[in-house]
Amino acid sequence: MWLLKSYSSLELLQELYVAYEYAKRGARLALVARREDRLQAVADRARKLGSPEVVVVHADVSKVEECKQFVDEIVNYFGRLDHLVNNAGVVQIRLFEVFTQFSDIASVMDINFWGSVYSTHYAVPHLRKSKGKIVVIASTAAWLGAPGLSFYNASKVALISFFETLRTEFGQDIGITILSPGKIESEITQGEFFLQAQANWIPTETTEGCAKAILDSTCSGDMYLTEPSWMKAGFWVKTLCPEVFEWCFHSLFVNWPWTSKKD
């Protein structure tokens, strides 16, 4: 049984295609999100694509008691848990100096980091029994230091470090695949920020293609997945030429979009 959970519109889009990909492979699915009604349509299509059984559960992953509740509910229903997909996340695109109320961004860490921690904590005993797997949705923006995403990046870097540590603790008992997606088609990548940054030249990976890569990598037992794969070049450019890399990022995502607004 595969458990996938979502929070924002971006993650809901990703979960939608990941769920469909699991369904095509005959998996029984549990879909978890705050907006249960929006997942019903996903559940219906997943059944048509081949999933023999799909359940939808309403829960807020930023609340520890609800994470325990939905894991218990799903395991009691299916009798086992094979994969946990930590896909819940929110993002705020804003330069650090623009923030005035830090309470506005508290939810970023609550959902992106703690939501995955809580869910994983209660899922671990069941994943040990099944020799299961955990899928972690991080971001290439985190290790590239993309401007305007300071708190989002921090939450994703925390995720990477946390699950790398769990990997050493679990050993071979539970597989952990950490995904770092790049520019995946979504409302965010088609939004005002990317248009103002003149970032349309950056190739966009389809959500469907990303979902297929996630499952292929997870089932193969890969430790890491960067999708699209060419995004790995950014890591090496940043490592070998950090000054040039940061100057380009500053010019592309800070000077152009924000100065154009002032003008």
What distance in Å separates the CA atoms of residue 204 and residue 232, rounded to the nearest whole number? 15
Amino acid at 33: A
What distance in Å separates the CA atoms of residue 42 and residue 55, rounded to the nearest whole number? 10
DSSP 147: T
Amino acid at 184: I
What distance in Å separates the CA atoms of residue 139 and residue 247, rounded to the nearest whole number? 21
What distance in Å separates the CA atoms of residue 121 and residue 169, rounded to the nearest whole number? 13
What distance in Å separates the CA atoms of residue 90 and residue 161, rounded to the nearest whole number? 19
- Of 49, 66, 8, nearest to 208 by C-alpha is 49
Residue 224 annotated as catalytic: no
The residue annotated as part of the active site, out of 118, 122, 152, 224, is: 152
What distance in Å separates the CA atoms of residue 202 and residue 230, rounded to the nearest whole number? 11
What distance in Å separates the CA atoms of residue 16 and residue 4, rounded to the nearest whole number? 9
Phi and psi based region of residue 189 (left: phi greater than 0; alpha: psi -120 to 50; beta: remaining) = alpha
Rg (CA), the chain: 18
The set of catalytic residues is: 152
